[in-house]
Structure 1
Amino acid sequence: MSKPEFRVLPVEDGDTEEIMKLLQITFFVDEPMNQAIGLCNDGPCAELDDYCRQCLPEGLSFKAVDKDGKVVGVMINGKCPLEEAKDGSDYLSLAQKCQNPKFVKILYVLAKRDDGCRLWEKYPEDEYLVDVKVAATHPEWRKRGIMNALLEETEKTTQERGIRLLRMDTSSAYSAMSAERLGFTCVYSARYVDIKLDGRPLIVPEPPHVDDRVYIKTLFDRK
């Protein structure tokens, strides 16, 4: 059986709803933290939906499409400062304002992740990076090289914009293995049981997903 063909293209404005439908059957239900707290058990989570949508207009995200133009994979990327601005848009501030008790836990984990990895201290000469926020492949198209192809386009575009660092956070043991295989270096790791609020773990996914990690790939050296 011949390998199905796909093409990698930039995400366009009209792709948003099709991408969200793909995420609803992949990332929304597969991601270990989402699973652990049943984030989408009662239907779509508006906060997660907004999180996934917000970076699509930046021109840094890519889709894989089949021969009919149907989206079968996506990598949502955003340009971010290494240190969060303390203007109310940081994860801690968002957590304190969020009205969804389940999504609040996600935001607190993200806040503790950023504070723990302290990228602005590790890379003081860099102001921005590109963050691989969400990556998903349709279940029928997995293990066919889509993620590699999406990452290749992401790296190329990141370098064209003069940005040196690519970030990938992994809440899954499988995505952590993929990050290492793709040349990323782990710069932060914390056991979920140790990520606490008021003395209690925030989210504890099922094994083998026991660690929350941040990976960085340096795309070029400074001259």
Structure 2
Amino acid sequence: MQPNYTLRAVTLEEKEIQAVLQFATRIFEEDEPLNTVSQSLVDASDIGEHLIAILRQSLSVLALDDGGEIIGVSLNGLIKREEAETNNFEFDPKTCEDGILQLLLHVRREDKMWDKLPKTCNTVLELHMCAVRSDWRGKGVMTALTKKTERMARTTCAAAVRIEATSAFSAKVAEKLGYKEIYRLPYKDQIYTPSPAPPHLDMRVYIKEL
């Protein structure tokens, strides 16, 4: 029997934005492989404004159980070729001291995504973070959120979807859905944070042209 849940876009209601932010931050702090081994945890205050800006693009997706409780979220935002050429990431590397954010900056610089997409592709919808409540994992929620993200990408005329997979589990979902790996950084070769425990051996970037 399939578990019963519903998917819908995150609204712009302040109460819902704050609820989604708290949910995503809690899952990130408890379960993100990089965060569980880093001595410098990414606090909500460090990334809160960034995530709120993503939510206000009205492209993120909620998964709700029968009682209306959040069981999963996909935080999605548009990135444009012309903006990427002048601003490679939302955080300034000169003022960023957190190891995890430094790693994300490094990956953004090195994955060369735009060189691997057609010149006609000027807009990509990025799945910035996908978080699922622990008791709902293994039930297809992340797959459903990702598929919903792809449908939303098409409505915004985005030509591709990008996923940064920091865990082996998110990488497995991306590959299952036909995403192409364009970059891989083994955690043992990076200098920004301690390496997570297996099975999380590397960070990967995937894209899927639509």
TM over 0.5: yes
Query: Which consecutive residues of structure 2, in runs of 5 or more, have no partner in the other structure?
Result: none
Match of 2:192 among 189, 199, 202: 202
Aligned to 1:175: 170
SS in 1 for 2:84: coil
Aligned to 1:23: 24
Measured against aligned partners, the alpha-carbon deviations of 1:33-64 in whole angstroms (never above 9, x if no partner) come to 111214449xx441133333220011110101
Aligned to 2:124: 129
SS in 2 for 1:97: coil
Letter in 2 for 1:52: L
Letter in 1 for 2:200: H
Shift of residue 18, structure 1, vs aligned partner = 1.6
- Corresponding pairs, count: 205
Residue 29 of structure 1 contacts residue 40 of structure 1 at CA under 8 Å; is this kept in 2? no
Taking structure 2 as the reference length, the TM-score comes to 0.88
Query: Which consecutive residues of structure 1, in runs of 5 or more, have no partner in the other structure?
Result: 196-200
Distance in 2 (CA, whole Å) between partners of 1:121 and 1:142 is 35
Aligned to 1:218: 209
Letter in 1 for 2:201: V
Residue 39 of structure 1 contacts residue 45 of structure 1 at CA under 8 Å; is this kept in 2? no
Aligned to 2:110: 116
SS in 2 for 1:157: helix
Distance in 2 (CA, whole Å) between partners of 1:21 and 1:90 is 23
Measured against aligned partners, the alpha-carbon deviations of 1:162-207 in whole angstroms (never above 9, x if no partner) come to 1110000011122111211121110001112323xxxxx1112222
Measured against aligned partners, the alpha-carbon deviations of 1:3-24 in whole angstroms (never above 9, x if no partner) come to 4421101101231222123224
Shift of residue 157, structure 1, vs aligned partner = 1.4
Aligned to 2:86: 86
Residue 94 of structure 1 contacts residue 107 of structure 1 at CA under 8 Å; is this kept in 2? no
Distance in 2 (CA, whole Å) between partners of 1:210 and 1:4 is 31
Shift of residue 85, structure 1, vs aligned partner = 4.3
Aligned to 1:6: 5
SS in 2 for 1:58: coil
SS in 2 for 1:115: helix
Shift of residue 113, structure 1, vs aligned partner = 0.7
Match of 1:187 among 170, 182, 188: 182
Aligned to 2:59: 60
SS in 2 for 1:166: strand
SS in 2 for 1:111: helix
Could you say which structure has the larger radius of gyration? Answer: 1
SS in 2 for 1:90: coil
Letter in 2 for 1:218: E
Distance in 2 (CA, whole Å) between partners of 1:90 and 1:146 is 28
Shift of residue 138, structure 1, vs aligned partner = 1.2
Change (3 A) 1:208 1:145: closer
Residue 89 of structure 2 contacts residue 108 of structure 2 at CA under 8 Å; is this kept in 1? no
Shift of residue 134, structure 1, vs aligned partner = 0.6
SS in 2 for 1:95: coil
Change (3 A) 1:69 1:85: same
Match of 1:148 among 135, 139, 143: 143
Task: Name the % identity.
Answer: 27
SS in 1 for 2:50: helix
